[in-house]
Amino acid sequence: MLKQVFSTTVVRLSIAVMGLLVTTLNARVLGAEGLGEIRIFTVTVTLLVIVANFVGGPHLIFRSTRHSLSGLLLRSYAWCIAVSVLFFCVQYVPGLAFKHHDVIALSTMFYALGWVHVYCLIGFERITLQNLVVFSFNGLLLVGVWMSYYVLGWSEPIYFVIIYAVAAISQWLLGGAMLFVNRKRAIVKPPEQLTKVLLKDGVYVQSGNLFQQLNYRLGDYILEATWGKAAVGIYGLAIQLAEGIWTVARSASLVQYARLSNMANKERAKKITFQFAKAVVIVSVFGFLVLSFLPKSFYALLFGEELVAVRGILRWLLPALSLYSAGFIYSHYFSSQGQFKINTLVSFIGLIVILLTAPLFIPRFGIPGAIAAHSATYLASLLGFIVMLKRQPSRAHRWLWPSRKDLRWLRRITTGSHT
């Protein structure tokens, strides 16, 4: 299990580095305003993908070994395609058209379908293969952007948008091939029961994910409407760098989800959850310190003088983001136990906080207002997870806070004596 966490972390770190390189290229070639336009495009695709994966979302990890793979794929594909086509048709409604609307619809469809394959691979515990699929998207995006700017001389945001769509199609094709070769037999349930199960899971899982993404990204739209794309570009870059400290947390939670979904010992599952949560917070705090003390010249060298302000933003954002890294572990624990309602409830709490704070702070204060609003929603969500965990009927609360045993456990992991 720890080997899978390590390999997944290495891949995620590589992906984070590639994402940083892509952002660096975009910042130096397109500037803050171009970066802001790209940010709005990617945020819109992310939100739409959540809706498109309403049937074929992360809950497939839990269901993939319990139901017919063909039945899961058929229903997931049908819903995903329907959502993408519906969004494409919305552009003909006056006042509702997005910039790059057609490419957004195309990217949404293939990116969402690609993640259907990824979730099934995770459910089969094919962690290395799903890492390869996710890595392929980011690798192709980096190569495509570099060639666009420095080989072909294309230096407009639209070219990034097109390359993004091509990378999404490639990820879908590779994921489909990997899934076909590594498919497993499952306990097959009647189609009508499968449809009911997927729809029920989708209500809890994807609505929760949608709430969570709105918690993360709603401020971007308000910031663009009141302060312009350049402000979104600067703030979005800071958010991307800050969220890089979540790489270890996301990697650990991914492997944790796959393993705990197939673990019968609930007490053991809870103990693993709390140990991983405390470990990722320690790593995240270290990342916080590193990013906080990098000199301004470092940011100027990477992104240009126009975007040096990101360092000051990072110092205010990172404390809340460091603490919230434990939230990924807690969330995936509840998902692995099929308790999707809890994640939805916690995400809804965060959504209420951002809806109350973002319209109040961002139009008046701009980027500082966005920092305050997002920090408040992260901390509120983390508090919600802690409250729900302490309500679990077990000894789980005993493992919530760091202890000497945790330090010994971490030492065994780092020395390789714990497997």
237 vs 303: CA distance, rounded Å? 9
pTM: 0.77
**309-350: per-residue pLDDT in tens?**
888 898 888 888 888 888 888 888 887 777 778 888 898 999
410: pLDDT confidence band, cut at 50, 70 and 90?
low
41 vs 160: CA distance, rounded Å? 10
151 vs 335: CA distance, rounded Å? 45
390 vs 396: CA distance, rounded Å? 7
What pLDDT is stored for residue 264 in this prediction? Answer: 67
CA angle 377, 382, 385 (to 5 degrees): 130
**29-58: per-residue pLDDT in tens?**
998 899 999 999 999 999 999 999 888 888
What pLDDT is stored for residue 342 in this prediction? Answer: 87
The mean pLDDT value for 9-14 works out to 76
Identify residue 340 by its one-letter amino acid code. F
Lowest mean pLDDT among 71-80, 168-177, 184-193, 268-277: 184-193
- Domain locations in the chain as residue ranges: 2-415
The DSSP letter of residue 264 is: -
Which are the contacts of 303, defined by CB distance < 8 A and separation ≥ 6?
Answer: 23, 24, 27, 28, 237, 310
The mean pLDDT value for 3-32 works out to 81
176: pLDDT confidence band, cut at 50, 70 and 90?
very high
**126-151: per-residue pLDDT in tens?**
878 888 898 999 999 999 999 999 98
What pLDDT is stored for residue 413 in this prediction? Answer: 45
What pLDDT is stored for residue 278 in this prediction? Answer: 81
**221-268: per-residue pLDDT in tens?**
999 999 998 999 999 888 888 887 787 787 777 777 767 766 767 777
